Amino acid sequence: MRLRDKVVVITGAGAGIGRATALLCAEEGATVACIDRDPAAAEAVAAALARPGMAITADVGAEAEVAAAMQAAAARFGRIDVLLSNAGFGIQGAVTETTEADWDAIFRVNVKGVFLCAKHAIPIMAARGGGVIVNTASNIAIVGIRDRAAYVATKGAVDALTRAMAIDHAGQGIRINAVAPGPTATSYFEGMLARSNDPAAFTAALAARSPLNRVAQPEEIARAIVFLASDDSSFMLGATLVVDGGHAIW
């Protein structure tokens, strides 16, 4: 088990990649604190873990809630070994179609959330000699895509912030990396599908971005995250692991 006896805190744990990763971390031996803004979703995932964990309700864009969540996990389990900053959402539209309110809202969660979680987890990790942080970025920060300007910008920021934090905190024994998934069958994907005028064509177009001609399953991204969270990636620092079925090279 690659995460035996590790304490893992994961945001956005209630669904999709977060849920799959929380479940896999527990299967790999970790004690998992599941953070989600939806208390029922957090509780449901915590109840499904292979070993006892905990559910925490928090908005990652609210500093007081993030600070309380990190302290709650550390108080319950004695430490935080791994932080998986996964909470996020997407919106559609070019910059000319994106409202200021939507721009601010997505940056609040996708970027500020990563910043706040790291800010409040790092001192807890450093006090015990180190830890690991894995941020969820996206392959579209590398390849770009139509009509997702705000989302692309947030994920580019996560990619850059990952490298900056990695340099700043390596001396404290903290490894920080990111994973960059391609299109994945999550609730975000399902929401876009529901809004599409032609769901079949929409699904086919997403699948066609990969030479494998399909989208990822959340469990496939979870396996990459667990690799980055474990000692198997012990010499990786400030890296972004692209898991997109070849989209970035296609």
Are the CB atoms for 218 and 20 separated by under 8 Å? yes
Are the CB atoms for 166 and 238 separated by under 8 Å? yes
User: Catalytic one among 31, 33, 58, 151?
Assistant: 151
Whether 188 is catalytic is no
b/e string for 68-80 if b means 16 or more Cβ within 10 A? ebbebbbeebeeb
Q: What angle do CA 85, 214, 46 make, to 5 degrees?
A: 35
Q: Shortest CA distance to 86 belongs to which of 58, 105, 67?
A: 58
Measured distance CA(11)–CA(86) in Å, rounded: 5
From the centroid of its chain, how far is CA 64?
20
Task: Write out the catalytic residue numbers.
Answer: 151
